[in-house]
Amino acid sequence: MLGREIEVSRADRASEPRTHAAVRERQVRDGTFHSAVCPDLPAGCYTVWWDADRPVGAVSVAGGIVAEFIWPTSAYPAAD
């Protein structure tokens, strides 16, 4: 995941430009985890994209609250 670009779009506005953020590695006491921050998303439902064409899931963002999305451990294979 490190270095990957995560893209999200409003679920009800799929044709609008997507918001993207780089995945960063975080070292914590229990090991390593990866995160991406999209700080200015308005409240709403968002599609999380695997690549330009395939969604990988959805996340609900509430105003002023941190939202989490757990990336599937077995999503899509690498692109050819």
Instruction: Report domain extents, the chain.
Output: 5-61
pLDDT exceeds cutoff 70 at 78: no
Tokens 């780089």 correspond to what residue? Answer: 22
- The whole-number average pLDDT for the span 23-51 is 89
Under a CB-based contact definition with an 8 Å cutoff, are residues 71 and 1 in contact?
yes
pLDDT exceeds cutoff 50 at 70: yes
H or E segment to which residue 55 belongs = strand 55-61
pLDDT exceeds cutoff 80 at 77: no
CA distance 10 to 18: 8
Q: How far is CA 23 from the centre of its chain?
A: 9
pTM for this model (two decimals): 0.78
pLDDT of residue 76: 55
23 pLDDT tier (thresholds 50, 70, 90): confident
Q: Is 39 helix (H, G, I), strand (E, B) or coil?
A: coil
pLDDT exceeds cutoff 80 at 1: no
